[in-house]
Amino acid sequence: MASYTEVEYMRILNQTFYDQVKTADQKAGYLCTFLTILFAYSKDRGQILIFLTTPPEWSIPWMLSLVFVLAACFAIVCTALVIVPRTKPGGSTLYWGSWSEPASLMQKLSSGIPDEFIISEYLTNISNLAYICQVKYKYVGLAFRGAAIAVLCYLSIVLLIH
């Protein structure tokens, strides 16, 4: 039989990972908004995308313009990969995405839940959420790096042109 402390600890772990999944999605949303504003509302947008308006001249601003677009596109793709829902095979009843047979779940609940079942479900869910967090934060980190490179290129182009 599981003690109250053990079950409470697993509940806290479960909630912590759930919060981290939400935080990763929020960070991706903020980054996507920032990149959209940078592209759509920049008064220098015509001068930043030099490589689109002039033939390859291999000047520093032209190359920075190309790197800017590549880095921004990389950041946007990574942001999309964060937001895409992620699942891991072997879900638990605590995760809505694995409720393929609600009738069998209801049968288990109505017949009484053994402690082993509760512990098993918490451990499975914690493992799945930990995996999802690792994947999401990998892409969040890559997206922020791409955005940082894009911003540095943007600022460099603006300083070189003006």
16-68 pLDDT tens trace: 988 998 999 999 999 988 888 877 776 666 677 777 777 777 888 888 888 99
Q: Using alpha carbons, select from 160, 150, 162, 158 the residue that is nearest to residue 66.
A: 150
- Six-digit token string for 156: 């460099």
Q: pLDDT per residue over 84-136, tens digit each?
A: 866 666 655 555 555 555 556 566 656 666 777 778 878 888 888 888 889 99
Residue 1: band (very low, low, confident or very high) from pLDDT cuts 50, 70, 90: low
- Distance of CA 104 to CAs 77, 101, 116, Å? 39, 6, 17
Report residue 54: phi and psi, to 5°.
-125, 150
Q: DSSP string covering 107-155, please? A: HHHHT---HHHHHHHHHHHHHHHHHHHHHHHHHHHHHHHHHHHHHHHHH
- pTM comes to 0.77
Structure confidence at residue 142 (pLDDT): 96
Structure confidence at residue 139 (pLDDT): 95
Q: Which residue has the tokens 């190359």?
A: 63
Alpha helices in 41-114 (DSSP H): 45-48, 50-53, 60-83, 102-110
Structure confidence at residue 109 (pLDDT): 59
